[in-house]
């Protein structure tokens, strides 16, 4: 099995060194993207208190990780979304529709009591098939 760690410079570095932003494995060319939160490339929280802004930042982080291996949002086959407040579902769905226009991925939504920081309202992990 081939295993490649992916940590693009344009995405915040993992908080702890024991995980990567993404791992590509072969020969099947699966890309596993770790749960992304609303951090910019410098590690600053984006959209504090704003679910739409946080969702956009999370999806932009995922898009950047995909681009670093020559893939796009169309390559995503599965996402898991973690929300601290399920009342934000419609706002999240609205933003997601901007990123998944064709052939949406399989999806799971999980309500959680908290994420790694109280500033984070959403976290999304993804699996993609890449060339």
Other CB atoms within a 10 A radius of the CB of residue 112 amount to 12
Digitized pLDDT (tens) for each residue of the chain, 131 residues in all = 788 888 898 898 887 677 889 999 987 799 999 999 999 999 999 999 999 999 999 999 999 999 999 999 999 999 999 999 999 999 999 999 999 998 899 999 999 999 999 999 999 999 999 98
Q: Where are the alpha helices (DSSP H) in the chain?
A: 51-67, 89-99
Q: Which CATH class is domain 2-129?
A: alpha beta
Q: 12 exposed, middle or buried (CB, 10 Å; 0-12, 13-18, 19+)?
A: buried
């Amino acid at each position: 099995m081939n295993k490649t760690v992916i940590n693009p410079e344009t995405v915040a570095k993992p908080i702890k060194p024991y995980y990567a932003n993404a791992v590509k494995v072969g020969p099947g060319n699966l890309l596993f993207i770790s749960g992304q939160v609303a951090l910019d490339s410098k590690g600053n929280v984006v959209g504090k208190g704003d679910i739409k802004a946080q969702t956009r930042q999370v999806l932009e982080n995922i898009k950047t990780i995909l681009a670093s291996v020559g893939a796009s949002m169309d390559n995503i086959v599965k996402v898991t979304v973690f929300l601290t407040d399920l009342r934000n579902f419609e706002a999240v769905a609205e933003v997601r529709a901007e990123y998944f226009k064709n052939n949406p991925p399989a999806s799971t939504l999980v309500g959680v009591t908290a994420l790694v920081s109280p500033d984070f309202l959403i976290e999304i992990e993804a699996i993609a098939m890449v060339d």
